[in-house]
Amino acid sequence: MGIAEWRRKLQRGEVSARELTDRHLARIAAVDTTVHAFLEITAERARADADRIDTARQAGETLPPLAGIPLAIKDNLCTKGIRTTCSSRMLESFVPPYESTVTERLWSAGAVLLGKTNLDEFAMGSSTETSAFGPSRNPWNPERVPGGSSGGSAAAVAAGECLASLGSDTGGSIRQPASFCGVVGLKPTYGRVSRWGLVAFASSLDQVGPFCTSVADSAEILQVIAGADRRDSTCLTNPVPDYLATLEQPVRGLRVGIIRECFESEGLDPQVKSSVLAAAAQLEQLGCELVDISCPRFNDGIATYYVIAPSEASANLARYDGVKYGHRAEPAGAAENLAVMTARSRAQGFGDEVQRRILIGTFALSAGYVDAFYRKAQQVRTLIRRDFDRAFEQVDLLLTPTSPTTAFRFGAHAEDPLTMYLSDLLTIPANMAGLPAINVPCGFDDQGLPIGLQLIGGVLEEAKLLQLAHHYEQAAAVMAQRPPAELVA
Ligand code: GLN
């Protein structure tokens, strides 16, 4: 059942918010020792919030749109008074004194917080293996990763531990784990959703978005979190359309571009390829027109990203100096000098992958190299965007696989970070161009692992993106299959 059905039941009093919350807390208690989606479970607060909603309903008050809907939040979104760790030793004891805009809007809409979910440290990774607090597991097969960096948020939805969750996407961190876990994951247009209170990774790429079990639910969540915020100067002020109103509008005649280059890369799993092409054929049956599109710079996204994202990260992460907040190596006054104290705090507080990104970024920005690396990467970023601009002169939406493979085994890329970076090949270009993109489940491989397709829209074309994704989802009915109820390691 989706958010709309639960809302109806809650409004009619057929189920109470407390029952719905308790049911999900029980599910967490039953499966999260295996899945490890959660870093912290806020059971007491959840029950109190749910009780307040039930009291309000009994008093005849009109309930806000997400009243009683239990959610999970990626642990890089600040929640006032609730620890927000970014899965890092650096922020292990950080309790934010303020609330992020997106979560503030969710609580105002009546949603109930079940807890904070696991991620790769500071959202750097594709598997949750870089979390300082241990990885999450894929509900479809606990020997596989859930993807990352928002792996906990994706796994929590797939395992039925919450109705929806929030993640963040810098290079694919919503769409890739959604694909690995067989759920819907939406990255909105850059600036559609406020980044206030999202711990910064790469500020020109970061965007917050929902994980859900349906496209309609994704529209519900986006409706609440989207829109202007004067606390984030990159947040767009364009009015937020009614995403649910256009969901059912016919898709006949929509032009869908198949990006040729995405289907030619050698790392693409043949089962992923055939499943996504079959989905494209299904779109044709729905009355869409398929158009062959070339984006020659698409595959340069990854090289460009791994200069720009670490550069921005190295600047953003400079604030963790062991002084103001975060991990501090020594008691005040114990180190010989400030530089030694800062170096030790950072060496202890940051894991290997985060340190690697800081080193790459600092190198790419240093005098003598900044033109060869950072500036060049920005130029290629412009070329990638122009490819998309040209494509959207011909088509309404673009289609690619979301990830070149299905969920891999733990440790599969332990020896070589570069092979891990390749799993972002198909998701990064949308971040580079600031475009909205969505993962929709489209099938399973011969191991029973989910496969996902990615639809990419033009700037602020979320409504059209959700509309086509919804029609495909209804026609394909892939989401009817859920992971096993009993999750055993
Ligand atoms: N996997 C990519 C990385 O490691 C993307 C992460 C993200 O989107 N936050 O940087």
- 149 preceded by a cis bond (ω within 30 of 0): yes
- Mean confidence (pLDDT) of the chain: 96
Cα gap 68→14, rounded to integer Å: 13
Q: What's residue 367's pLDDT?
A: 93
Cα gap 27→485, rounded to integer Å: 10
| Residue 17 pLDDT greater than 90, yes or no | yes
| Residue 488 pLDDT greater than 70, yes or no | no
C-alpha distance from residue 8 to each of 15, 61, 474 (Å): 9, 15, 21
| Residue 485 pLDDT greater than 70, yes or no | no
| Residue 111 pLDDT greater than 70, yes or no | yes
Residue in this structure with the two tokens 């729905």, named with its chain if needed: 286
| Residue 479 pLDDT greater than 80, yes or no | no
Q: Which of 16, 88, 127, 149 is labelled catalytic?
A: 149
Q: What's residue 36's pLDDT?
A: 98
Which of the 8 DSSP states describes residue 15? S
| Residue 388 pLDDT greater than 70, yes or no | yes
Nearest to 147 by CA among 204, 220, 74: 74
| Residue 481 pLDDT greater than 80, yes or no | no
| Residue 101 pLDDT greater than 50, yes or no | yes
| Residue 401 pLDDT greater than 70, yes or no | yes
Cα gap 187→436, rounded to integer Å: 6
Q: What's residue 2's pLDDT?
A: 95
What's the pLDDT tens digit per position in 402-461? 999 999 999 999 888 888 898 999 999 999 999 999 999 999 999 999 999 999 999 999
- The maximal CA–CA distance of the chain, rounded, in angstroms, is 71
Q: What's residue 419's pLDDT?
A: 85
Task: For residues 100-119, give the mean pLDDT.
Answer: 98
In contact, 120 and 151? CB cutoff 8 Å: yes
- Residues above pLDDT 70, as percent of the chain: 99
Q: Which of 16, 74, 311, 423 is labelled catalytic?
A: 74
| Residue 330 pLDDT greater than 80, yes or no | no
Cα gap 77→84, rounded to integer Å: 7
Span from the CA of 173 to the centroid of ligand 1 (angstroms) = 5
| Residue 55 pLDDT greater than 80, yes or no | yes
pLDDT band at 489 (very low <50, low <70, confident <90, very high): very low
- In CATH terms, the superfamily for domain 3-255+438-488 is Amidase signature (AS) domain (3.90.1300.10)
What's the pLDDT tens digit per position in 163-215? 999 999 999 999 999 999 999 999 999 999 999 999 999 999 999 999 999 99
Q: Which of 100, 150, 173, 218 is labelled catalytic?
A: 173
Q: What's residue 387's pLDDT?
A: 98
Q: What's residue 331's pLDDT?
A: 72
Neighbouring residues of 371: CB distance < 8 A, sequence distance ≥ 6: none
Ligand 1 atom closest to Cα of residue 148: 1
Q: Whose CA is nearest to atom 4 of ligand 1?
A: 125
Q: Is residue 265 annotated as part of the catalytic site, yes or no?
A: no
Asked whether 87 lines ligand 1 (CB < 6 A), one says: no
Q: Could you tell me which residue, 464 or 414, shows the higher pLDDT?
A: 464
Asked whether 123 lines ligand 1 (CB < 6 A), one says: yes
Nearest to 378 by CA among 366, 392, 391, 364: 364
In contact, 115 and 81? CB cutoff 8 Å: no
Question: If 0-12 CB within 10 Å is exposed, 13-18 middle and 19+ buried, where does residue 5 land?
Answer: exposed
In this predicted structure, which of 95-99, 273-277, 310-314, 334-338 has the lowest mean pLDDT? 334-338
- Sequence ranges of the domains in the chain: 3-255+438-488
In contact, 37 and 116? CB cutoff 8 Å: no
Structure-block tokens of residue 65 = 């749109």
Asked whether 124 lines ligand 1 (CB < 6 A), one says: yes
Q: What's residue 290's pLDDT?
A: 98
Q: What's residue 332's pLDDT?
A: 66
Phi, psi of 374 (to 5 degrees): -65, -50
Asked whether 169 lines ligand 1 (CB < 6 A), one says: yes
Q: Is residue 233 annotated as part of the catalytic site, yes or no?
A: no
pTM exceeds 0.85: yes
Q: Is residue 273 annotated as part of the catalytic site, yes or no?
A: no
Nearest to 167 by CA among 116, 204, 205: 116
